[in-house]
């Protein structure tokens, strides 16, 4: 699947304020911009968004996420003998000194979200 969700936090550390952009290709090949704010997230999807935020809170105190890319992936998990669908996060973060850095699951294994609710959250915004 050629799709991703981008989440921007205009005020790093304020996890309740964000914009979510779903980028995907529809059947006609057009990639429509689909943007959402925190108020647009369906109530049943709120726990999955909270799981994303919980993963971000794990960044060191000096680093605050400003943008996140979420992609659906197949990952080998310790508890399963075969690959499972996961949502993998790539995070761009800033620090108070003005530094900017990218973090992936290599830095923080919790950036691989294996919870089926996270996968359902991703799929609810991507409509192939």
pLDDT digit string, tens, across residues 50-100: 878 877 877 767 888 899 999 988 766 666 666 788 889 999 999 889 899
Taking alpha carbons only, the member of 63, 74, 72 closest to residue 100 is 63
Instruction: Work out the percent of the chain whose per-residue pLDDT is above 70.
Output: 88
Least reliable range by pLDDT among 19-23, 79-83, 106-110: 79-83
Name the burial class of residue 104, with classes exposed (0-12), middle (13-18) and buried (19+) by CB atoms within 10 angstroms of its CB.
middle
Instruction: Pick the more confident residue, 74 or 19.
Output: 19
Instruction: Pick the more confident residue, 48 or 19.
Output: 19
CA–CA distance, 3 with 32 (Å, rounded to integer):
11
β-strand 19-23 against 112-113: which pairing, if any? unpaired
Q: What is the pLDDT of residue 69?
A: 93
């Amino acid at each position: 699947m050629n799709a991703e969700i981008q989440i921007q936090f205009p005020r790093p550390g304020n996890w309740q304020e964000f914009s979510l952009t779903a980028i995907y290709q529809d059947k006609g090949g057009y990639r429509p911009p689909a943007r959402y704010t925190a108020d647009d997230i369906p109530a049943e999807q709120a726990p999955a968004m909270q799981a994303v935020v919980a993963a971000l809170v794990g960044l060191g105190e000096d680093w605050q996420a400003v943008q996140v890319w979420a992609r659906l992936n197949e990952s080998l998990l310790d508890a399963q003998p075969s690959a499972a669908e996961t949502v993998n996060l790539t995070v761009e973060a800033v620090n108070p000194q003005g530094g900017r850095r990218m973090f992936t699951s290599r830095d923080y294994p919790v950036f691989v979200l294996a919870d089926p609710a996270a996968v359902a959250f991703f799929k609810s915004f991507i409509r192939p």
